[in-house]
Structure formats: structure tokens, C-alpha cells
Amino acid sequence: MELVSMPGQQAKGKVWLVGAGPGDVELLTLKAYRILKNADAVLYDALVSQDILDLIPDSAEKIAVGKRAGKHSAAQGDINQLLVTKAFTRNNVVRLKGGDPFIFGRGGEELQTLVAADIVFEVVPGITAASGTSAYAGIPLTHRDYAQGVTFITGHCQLASRPMDWQGYANANNTLVVYMGILSANIISEGLINAGRSPETPVAIVSNATTSSQQRFMGKLGELAQLAADPALQMPALMIIGEVVALADSLNWFDPVTAQQKTAQPQTDLDIAAKAR
């Protein structure tokens, strides 16, 4: 990893590494909201929803440093450099990331850069995609009858040919949540089934979770690759694998259509703030 420093100089600003949550603007924390409102510059990822970007004051510089799976590494050094540069020229710099910055968000790497450059920072956690998806798709990640644990993994590592611990993930009493897994759906289902997980295990792929475009694709582990290849499936999408997925039909409460109507009629302060712009 490239470390950026400006020897002999003291940054005037501070950087807040902020989690924006999975999409629904009301899932932003109050702390994240307050910090965004005071921002002088905001560097944001492609995953941050438009409703949240609409909360950033006009006076703040908004910089898209968007990246999607597959294009990560090339841009990371530039993002690190930009963060340091902004901290030398602005007071309140926000690095805004989808979900939680410390879960598959490279937040740790960016903070290491700040430490090397002697820049002061704070971290504001966000609701990670697994929690947002779980809640809005009616799939509890643990349940005393079905799953005693939950594991978050990235499907992206598989593409980078790092070994996956299929044996460890194949435990039938554990829920598996796969981030960035759509392109490796085939490898994931094969790996788990070969390690002993039943092809009948219920699976869900949920796209645009917590937003009015949320879609759920339900099936069995043996047909994960077909589900992932559905032409209607949009990104971002998360996979949940495990017996808890069978609860989704009875616990499904979130109606994206109603959510859309709600966004069309401002109801909360956050809605009003977003709509006022």
C-alpha cells in the first residue's frame, strides 16, 4: 500500500470516516448527519445513495471517488492521496462510504494513510449491507432454531484467487452473508456443496436493499448461479445463505412500492432536507 505524507507540514483539517448505511436515508446515524451538515469537502463512493448525497450542503465540495468491484486497486492510491491533500486545505473532510466503513470498505487502509501523514480522524460506523438487507428482506441472520452464528465474507477474494475456507463456511447451523459475490455465485455454490452444505439450503439474493428499488430473488443453494444470472438482478446485491432464509416469506414486511410513495411525500426532517434541495 502506498503511504502518502507531507513531511514537516501539519494538516489544518480533520477527516471523518463515515458510514452512510445501505441506502435508505433514514438509516443514517444522527452523528453521520451532523458531520455531513458541517462538511467542507465530501469524498464519496458509488454506493452512497442519492438521497444521502442530497443532504450535503451546497457549500461543501463533493468529490465522487466511485469504485465498483473489479476496479478497486487502481484507484485506491489516488483516493488516499486526495484525502491527505484535502485535509491540508479544508477543515472538515468527510470520507463517506456505503454501509459501514470497516466492513469490506477499505476504511482501515485509508486510515493507515492518514496516520502516516499525521492527520487527525474520527470514525462513524454505519449500518452494513448485511444488517440492512436482513432487516428489510425479513431474514434474521441468527435465530435460535436455525442459526447460531453468522459469517460475512467477500466473494471478490475468490476472483483474486485467494483460498476460501469452504469447510468452515459449510456449517449448516451458520448463516453465510456474501458481499460482492454475484460474479462468483457458481464458485460459491460449488465450494459450499462440495464441502458438505446441502444443495437444498435456502438462499436469497437481495439487490438495492433498503431502497424503493429493493428486489429479492429466492431459491436453493444448488441454483445460486441461475439466480445470480437473472437479467432482472441489479447491483449492488447481497447473498444470504442458510436456513434462516426460509423465514423470509412469513417475516417479509418491507414493500418497496410503499417506500417509493413515502419518498414522494416528505415526512421526516431528513426527507424534507433532502427534498428542499
Residues that bind ligand SAH (CB under 6 A): 22-23, 47, 69, 97-100, 103-105, 128-129, 133, 179-180, 206-210, 236-238
> Does residue 14 have an active-site annotation?
no
Nearer to ligand SAH, 11 or 203 (CB): 203
> Does residue 45 have an active-site annotation?
yes
Q: How far is the CB of 88 from ligand SAH (least distance, A)?
A: 26
Nearer to ligand SAH, 113 or 207 (CB): 207
Nearer to ligand SAH, 13 or 140 (CB): 140
- Catalytic-labelled residue, pool 14, 31, 62, 67: 67
Please list, in sequence order, all residues whose beta carbon lies within 8 angstroms of the beta carbon of residue 209, skipping any fewer than 6 positions away: 22, 23, 129, 132, 133, 136, 137, 238
Cα dist from 225 to 36, 70, 114, 184, 239, whole Å: 39, 19, 40, 8, 11
Task: Copy the grid coordinates of residue 52.
Answer: 444521502
Edge-first strand order for the sheet with 174-179 is: 149-154, 174-179, 237-241, 202-207, 215-220
- Catalytic-labelled residue, pool 45, 51, 86, 100: 45
Quick one: which H or E segment has residue 153? strand 149-154
Q: CA 265 to CA 270: how far, in whole Å?
A: 12
Nearer to ligand SAH, 72 or 198 (CB): 72
Active centre residues (catalytic): 45, 67
